[in-house]
């Protein structure tokens, strides 16, 4: 995959982006690294990789476990991920599905 290829955006992804890239974006929302209105449309792979690094650093103090998040972040995580699952299900997603298409 070319490094300069642009991401289609979380809102344009099949099944609402129930994949690792979607999780990076949702986790960035949880930690306030990007606004929840930002779906990363047009971002390059380098931009998503840089966001991943920031998300990973934000998770580190909590051992990458939702149960270790402080109450406000845990509640935000639950709200964001519950909405994502409901949206994905409305688009025909089921947890047993493999990733249908590459968002790049």
Q: Would you say the pTM of this structure is higher than 0.85? A: yes
pLDDT in tens, 57-103: 999 999 999 999 999 999 999 999 999 999 999 999 888 766 555 56
Contacts of 81 (CB under 8 A, 6+ apart): 26
Q: Give the three-class secondary structure for 17.
A: coil
Helices and strands (H and E) in the chain: how many: 3, 0
Domains of the chain, by residue range, sit at 10-90
The tokens describing 90, both together, are: 């409305």
Phi, psi of 42 (to 5 degrees): 85, 0
Percent share of the chain, pLDDT over 70: 88
């Amino acid at each position: 995959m070319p490094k300069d290829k642009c991401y289609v955006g979380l809102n344009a992804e099949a099944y609402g982006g129930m994949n690792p890239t979607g999780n990076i974006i949702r986790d960035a929302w949880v930690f306030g690294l990007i606004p929840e209105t930002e779906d990363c449309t047009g971002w390059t792979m380098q931009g998503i990789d840089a966001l991943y690094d920031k998300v990973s650093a934000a998770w580190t103090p909590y051992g990458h476990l939702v149960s270790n998040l402080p109450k406000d972040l845990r509640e935000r995580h639950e709200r964001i991920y519950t909405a994502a699952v409901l949206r994905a299900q409305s688009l025909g997603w089921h947890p047993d599905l493999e990733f249908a298409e590459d968002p790049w």
